[in-house]
Amino acid sequence: MSTYVKRAFRYRFYPTDVQAAELSRTFGCVRKVYNLALRARSQAWARQERLNYGATSAMLTAWKKTEELAYLNEVSSVPLQQTLRHLQTAFTNFFADRAKYPRFKSRKRSRRSAEYTTSGFRFREGKLTLAKMAEPLDIVWSRPLPEGAVPSTVTVSQDAAGRWFISLVVVDPTVRALPSMDAAVGVDVGLTHLLTLSTGEKITNPRHEHRDRARLALAQRRLAKKASGDGANRAKARRKAAKIHARITDRRRDHLHKLTTRLVRENQTLVIEDLSIRSLVRNRRLARSIHDAAWSELRSMLEYKAAWYGRRVITVDRFFPSTRLCSHCGSIVDKLPLNVRTWRCGCGTVHDRDVNAAKNLLAAGLAVTACGAGVRPQRESSRTGRSATKQETPRREP
């Protein structure tokens, strides 16, 4: 790789009572500034006016001088400026049709976090001290940072379970392209087996949420019985349910990291299907299992790790009949219900449903590579014969 990769290293830390109070105050101020800036930009948009980051930054200076918002001076100004930059990015993504319109941050539901740039922290001899704090954070260095790495940004967050995390973005010189190889694999995702490879290997779905479903249901029932409001008992019950959710998420992410790293290291080309998760979860019987499998997160990991290590991920159009197509003779069966796991083609070949799909995905992906076409071939409408790919005009900012 010609350039080094920026990576985020995440660690647990345990703040003192003073540090926890300072960070909680910072989270509140960050949320307040974000909401004020979003309201100002929305009102300006309604008046056909334009506000950018520079304008909201000047407004922040004015807000700090008012009696009502004077408390914004008590926390570091760096996270407040960073949240305005995040809002600018959100609007940029909205006008480019990459995201929905920015939403206001909620005290109860939004992520509690604050981002510090180099002017907002000091990192010396493995100790990190944030602005407005006298003592360094007590960080559990579960894995070492790259030798000589200096963080460019630091993000402090607290999850719903009450755990504190610090994320350091550093340049990692150890991430280099792996030696090229000829191996290629088709990957078919599923629920009984999380992945089925074109080699015939099947990787069992751990079903992390299903394993803790009884404990989670009990914790949620106890939470539902607590009186609404900000009482201590309700907060305690909410934290217990959040801890179960956090354990499920941690186990799932750990498994996906190990799995995707192995696939990327063992194969030069990986072919996957471009699934529409939003449409699939409309099936109320399968929605919970689909969310538990985390297919979107799996694909995201494959894509960024392939970019790191010089591999290639090819996505095949979601309307390609990978399951119903015979990988031996190329004929297509009309119907193949989900309960049919093996089927016999007219040519006499007996197929395992998932293995056959993985083989067809691999063949389609390699064909696309050989022809030099795009990774998502345009499909023709059966009614008009024209390309059915939707062309959208990006929104314009007033």
- Contacts within 8 Å (CB) and 24+ apart, 324-328: 325/356, 325/360, 326/351, 326/356, 327/351, 327/356, 327/359, 327/360, 327/363
Check: CB of residue 33 under 8 Å from CB of residue 61.
Answer: no
- For CATH 3.30.420, list the domain ranges present in the chain: 177-206+251-386
Q: Which residues of the chain have pLDDT under 70?
A: 1-3, 370-398
**Residue linked to tokens 């909201």:** 56
**Residues recognised as catalytic:** 188, 273, 354
- Write down the architecture of domain 177-206+251-386 according to CATH: 2-Layer Sandwich (3.30)
Predicted confidence (pLDDT) per residue in 239-279, tens digit: 999 999 999 999 999 999 999 999 999 999 999 999 888 88
Model pLDDT for residues 161-195, shown as the tens digit of each residue: 999 999 999 998 888 899 999 999 999 999 989 99
Query: What pLDDT does 375 receive?
Result: 45
pLDDT score recorded for residue 3: 67
